[in-house]
Amino acid sequence: MSIPAGPTRPVDPAVRAKKYLGFPYPYDRTSRPTNANTKPGTPSAGAVPTSSEYQLTIIGGFTDGFHFYPITVNGTTATIHPHHDLLEYGKSYYVQVDADVLSVGTSGFAGVSDKSWRFSTKPKWKAPRPNSTFVTVSADGTGDFNTVQGALDFVPDNSKKRITIKVRNGIYEEIVYARNKDNVTLLGESQEKTILRYKNNEVFNPHPANIRTNPEPGTFPSRRAAVTIDNCNDIHIVNMTLQTTAFGQAEGLLITGDRNILSHTTVIGSGDALQANGRIYMVDSTILGGGDTILGRGTLFCERCTIKSNSVMMWPRNPKEVHGNVFKDSSFIGTRGPTTLARSPQNEAFSYPHAEVVLLNAKLTNIAPEGWGNADKGGNVRFWEYNSLNADGSPVDVSKRVTWSRQLDKIKDAKLIADYSRPEFVLAGWKPKLIVR
């Protein structure tokens, strides 16, 4: 049996993208469009314009724009979110709010009609230097930036030197969209208390009606995730939680690029939680979701991770040239009745005959006896397990596993097990090395 090592980009992105878009999505740019110089909703790559029924804002230079909530309410705190990139250093602004915008207790809300509610931005000399390699984000205003998006926008496109963005504990209620950002470390203060979240999903920010959605390289980007890392390489995300608070097709993280790392990170989604495209290394992290909790066409190598799902753990879509999803010393927990580990069905719209999921020394809790869901019956799907254990450490009863799955034998498959245990084998020669400061 031939086991591929897999090149970084096995097929020209233009070839795959043409099937869905007609040409590769134009990521190249000489400057980043903003709300200050471009109308939100300006379509790209032949897409129909985004509906302007609700307010739109440009995030990360994506001119098609995002629907957003101008005001979010958490408990008794209402936060006003201006459009991106319109506030300038060293300026004074005032805020006005109509009386019918908020409902406050029995006394009502009188609104703010005068110019008494004012705030000022930092003077220009307090801005980080353009060549800075370390900046901070703090929700209380004491950092270089108040938002994670602001810090990512500061990073130049395709940076050759690593830039660390230190994100202090806090709740960052924002859609985060990074495009063309290379060599960036997003370093949270703690996995549990540094939280990037937003109520975003496919309904709120849908794919253009005239372009078919697909996670292939070079196809039209998705806008439905809380955090999107798009066409970015060598991104390291450490010590934080990424979460969508919406239901439906909604990822906490959608990541597309190459050689990206997640460490001590929690990803929370709804219909999906993590969409993983490109080569990704994930360690000591947690994924929580429903639907197909992990989705994607890339190669994902996970060590010591925990995946929780109330439906299906994953839907791998890797082509034959690359490996799929490999889990070493990880745990899978069904959260609402017995769940299945993966599915890769063949139907009219999709066919993934080379889908691959390999579990090595996995601990399984509340997993259905058959283990795996429906898959292409062509004989090339790799749904493989080695030494699967119950939570108490006892061997899992695999006697009822589906016939298109396989149990690896310690002796006969010793080389397979050893190869799949090495990230560099699965990740086509890449040896992941986490860089933090």
Model pTM score: 0.94
What pLDDT is stored for residue 1 in this prediction? 41
What pLDDT is stored for residue 20 in this prediction? 62
Residue 45 pLDDT greater than 60, yes or no: yes
What pLDDT is stored for residue 2 in this prediction? 44
Assign 19 a pLDDT band (cuts: 50, 70, 90): low
Residue 11 pLDDT greater than 70, yes or no: no
Residue 18 pLDDT greater than 80, yes or no: no
Task: Select from 118, 120, 57, 61 the least CA-distant residue to 84.
Answer: 57
Residue 202 pLDDT greater than 60, yes or no: yes
Q: Is 14 helix (H, G, I), strand (E, B) or coil?
A: helix
Element at 296 (helix H, strand E):
strand 292-296
Q: How many residues are given for the chain? A: 437
Residue 320 pLDDT greater than 80, yes or no: yes
User: Looking at 5-19, 103-117, 194-208, 322-336, which range is the least confident one?
Assistant: 5-19
Hey, CA dihedral for 112, 113, 117, 118, is it positive or negative?
Answer: positive
| Contact yes or no for 397/389 (Cβ under 8 A) | no
Alpha helices in 11-110 (DSSP H): 13-20
Cross-strand bridge partners of residue 277: 256
Assign 107 a pLDDT band (cuts: 50, 70, 90): confident
What pLDDT is stored for residue 349 in this prediction? 65
Which of residues 104 and 411 earns the better pLDDT score? 411
Mean pLDDT computed over 196-204:
96
| Contact yes or no for 235/246 (Cβ under 8 A) | no
Mean pLDDT computed over 158-163:
97
Q: Amino acid letter at 152? A: L
pLDDT digits (tens, 9 = 90+) for 234-270: 999 999 999 999 998 899 999 999 999 999 999 999 9
Domain range summary for the chain, segments of one domain joined by +: 13-32+127-426, 90-126
Assign 38 a pLDDT band (cuts: 50, 70, 90): very high
What pLDDT is stored for residue 347 in this prediction? 66
What pLDDT is stored for residue 103 in this prediction? 85
What pLDDT is stored for residue 5 in this prediction? 45
Tokens 């990073």, residue? 155
Which of residues 216 and 20 earns the better pLDDT score? 216
| Contact yes or no for 386/359 (Cβ under 8 A) | yes
What pLDDT is stored for residue 329 in this prediction? 98
SS3 content of the chain, % helix, strand, coil (to 5): 5, 35, 60
In percent, the amount of the chain with pLDDT more than 70 equals 94
Assign 74 a pLDDT band (cuts: 50, 70, 90): confident
Mean pLDDT computed over 87-100:
95
Phi (first) and psi of residue 15, to 5 degrees: -65, -45
Residue 436 pLDDT greater than 90, yes or no: no
Residue 154 pLDDT greater than 50, yes or no: yes
Q: Which CATH number fits domain 13-32+127-426: 3.90.79.10, 2.160.20.10, 2.40.128.120, 3.30.390.50?
A: 2.160.20.10
Mean pLDDT computed over 48-63:
94
User: Looking at 11-15, 104-108, 229-233, 414-418, which range is the least confident one?
Assistant: 11-15
- CA dist 42 and 35 (Å) reads 11
User: Looking at 8-17, 94-103, 280-289, 305-314, which range is the least confident one?
Assistant: 8-17
Which of residues 51 and 427 earns the better pLDDT score? 427
